[in-house]
Amino acid sequence: LAKTTQPISMDSYEGQEVNITCSHNNIATNDYITWYQQFPSQGPRFIIQGYKTKVTNEVASLFIPADRKSSTLSLPRVSLSDTAVYYCLVGDFYGQNFVFGPGTRLSVLP
């Protein structure tokens, strides 16, 4: 699995857009980029997944540049309830398991 690097923590205010960037320099051709959100004492929740360009769903957007060596999770107009840990994972996961790093701890302030 490609190694990922993301900021340990970020602070934001309610109503702002938050962008969390993940670096994955050795991403392979068949690898997907997947983001999970986790609240304390709960299991991670799938947010969004992409392969290239831009993906958008009702929760977030995922921007992936042409070289795919990084990706950016964008959360529009965050609220206090978006305070959580966000994990970036990269891989095709066939014959491989999910490897979670420490994630990014997002704190949304009023």
Tell me which residues touch another protein (CB under 8 A). 32, 34, 36, 41-46, 49, 85, 87, 91-103
CB of 5 to another protein, least distance (A): 13
CB of 63 to another protein, least distance (A): 19
Q: Which residues does residue 105 pair with via DSSP β-bridges, in sequence order? A: 9, 85
**Tokens of residue 18, six digits:** 């938050």
CB of 15 to another protein, least distance (A): 28
CB of 27 to another protein, least distance (A): 13
Choose between 63 and 100: whose C-beta lies nearer to another protein.
100
Exposed / middle / buried, residue 43 (Cβ in 10 Å: 0-12, 13-18, 19+): exposed
